[in-house]
Amino acid sequence: RRVQVGIVGAGPAGLLLAHLLRRAGVEALILEARSREYLETSPHRIRAGVLEWGTKEMAVMAGVGDRMLREGLEHKGIYLAFDRALQHVNFQILAGHGIWVYGQQYLVRDLIHHHLGAGGEILFEHEVVGLENLEENPVVVYRTPEGQEKQLACEFVVGADGSHSLARQCIPQAKLHQKAYPFAWLGILAETRPAAEELIYASHERGFALFSMRSPTLARNYLQVSLEERLEQWPEERIWEELNLRLGGVAEARPGTILEKSLTPMRSLVVEPMQHGRFFLVGDAAHVVPPTGAKGMNLAFCDVAVLYQALMAYYRDQDRSLLARFTSEALRHVWQAEFFSYWMTTLLHTLPDPFEEKLRQAKLRHLAESPHLQRFLAENYVGLYTSGRY
């Protein structure tokens, strides 16, 4: 079998790319190791839920935004909580746009629905076991649910298989730029009213806490914990007590039924280059950001926008120059998002080094007082690239 573009992975990046290409008349086929049900409903798939203004726009322009516009929540900005005070940072005033709160797995569900509805094809439960001949005539080797090995010949192959990417290994001599952080996040999803009508990023001596949401009745909260922590050490009462301690009295996290609990280690990773021959990496396969600031999926959408333009230049005008420049073009927004995620992470989490911890507190107080720094935060949070600032 042959297709124009073979895509490994049906996450937000692979799905959006396949859907955009299909709308432009380019045939793409997605191979995904998991089942559709797992992608859409598994509680372990609960990911970030903040869309940059431009990410929301991209979903609308791709024709998959109907449900997002109906059920998502528009936020003007965020709250910062520290030194026992609550401060609102208004992105709409500082950067001209708000943000959109809508769970990543809801968007995945919508993308699958629209892509299949438009006649697109996704091979669920088909595991890719090898990528061959990526310089000349790429071949994707995969296993069917029945265990048969098959081959798909492609003009281009895209690796969109997430943070534990296997496709990533197909870039020979790739450099991995990495950083690990000395803490993790304990995340919960709970049936209760969110702590405030917009997100609260709380920095407290006991550690960072984040109060987010998925709807007016579903709270999504996180606690900074040590790397050695285990979920068994966190019974429900302890979680609610700690969340409230870290709010320092400026708001209240009301206990409710906890639907999901998870631990997330924090790391940064950039793969360079993001391409080899007729093979390209997008999304978490190419880079990972720590979750603070919710850049992951937004960054994946930026990669897809750049690769889509490059593929269309090739298919429309036989112009290969944008494909040749894919890595250098994408790395501009990648490093900007890496920088912002690092900045947010090291600004808000208590740090083990006492000197760095004092510097951090100085930075945070400066942010509270400086409209310039608040604007820096706002511009980055709403998205420098998707809102067309660059």
φ, ψ for residue 251, nearest 5 deg:
-160, 175
DSSP, residue by residue, 198-213: S-EEEEETTEEEEEEE
- Are 31 and 104 spatial neighbours (Cβ–Cβ below 8 Å)? no
* Residues 6 or more apart whose Cβ sits within 8 Å of residue 353: none
Asked if residue 273 has a cis previous peptide bond (ω within 30° of 0), the answer is yes
Cα angle for residues 64, 295, 165 (degrees, 5° grid): 85
Among 55, 224, 292, 380, binds ligand DHB (CB under 6 A): 292
- Are 197 and 317 spatial neighbours (Cβ–Cβ below 8 Å)? no
The answer to whether 48 contacts ligand DHB (rule: CB under 6 A) is: yes
The answer to whether 50 contacts ligand DHB (rule: CB under 6 A) is: yes
By beta-carbon distance, which residue lies closest to ligand DHB? 212
Instruction: Identify the active-site residue in 38, 75, 315, 363.
Output: 75
Q: How many residues does the chain have?
A: 390
The answer to whether 56 contacts ligand DHB (rule: CB under 6 A) is: no
Among 7, 81, 294, 348, binds ligand DHB (CB under 6 A): 294
Neighbours of 240 (CB within 10 A): 19
Select 105 or 275, whichever has its Cβ closest to ligand DHB.
105
Select 170 or 210, whichever has its Cβ closest to ligand DHB.
210
Q: Residue 179: is it exposed, middle or buried by C-beta count within 10 angstroms (0-12/13-18/19+)?
A: middle
Binding region for ligand DHB (CB under 6 A) out of 7-15, 143-151, 152-160, 291-299: 291-299
Q: Which two tokens stand for residue 164?
A: 């534990």
Select 48 or 62, whichever has its Cβ closest to ligand DHB.
48
* Residues 6 or more apart whose Cβ sits within 8 Å of residue 327: 272, 273, 274, 275
For residues 218 to 237, the per-residue mask of contacts with ligand DHB, x marking binding by CB under 6 A and - elsewhere, is: --x-----------------
Whose structure tokens read 């930075």? 363
Among 11, 12, 49, 65, binds ligand DHB (CB under 6 A): 49
Active site residue 291: yes
Q: Which two tokens stand for residue 48?
A: 């970030």
Instruction: Identify the active-site residue in 79, 142, 201, 222.
Output: 201
CA distance 233 to 283: 33
Binding region for ligand DHB (CB under 6 A) out of 14-22, 47-55, 277-285, 299-307: 47-55
CA distance 102 to 64: 13
Least distance in angstroms from the C-beta of 259 to ligand DHB: 13
Select 15 or 297, whichever has its Cβ closest to ligand DHB.
297
Instruction: Identify the active-site residue in 19, 291, 314, 349.
Output: 291
Active site residue 138: no
Binding region for ligand DHB (CB under 6 A) out of 44-52, 68-76, 113-121, 143-151: 44-52
Active site residue 201: yes
The answer to whether 212 contacts ligand DHB (rule: CB under 6 A) is: yes
The answer to whether 282 contacts ligand DHB (rule: CB under 6 A) is: no
Least distance in angstroms from the C-beta of 89 to ligand DHB: 13
Binding region for ligand DHB (CB under 6 A) out of 48-56, 161-169, 315-323, 369-377: 48-56
- Are 149 and 155 spatial neighbours (Cβ–Cβ below 8 Å)? no
Q: Which two tokens stand for residue 262?
A: 């998870």
Among 65, 162, 291, 383, binds ligand DHB (CB under 6 A): 291
Residue 58's nearest CA partner among 49, 47, 69 is 69
- The amino acid at residue 261 is K
Among 12, 98, 207, 293, binds ligand DHB (CB under 6 A): 293
Select 134 or 199, whichever has its Cβ closest to ligand DHB.
199
Residues labelled as active-site residues: 75, 201, 291, 295, 381
Residues that bind ligand DHB (CB under 6 A): 48-50, 199, 210, 212, 220, 291-294
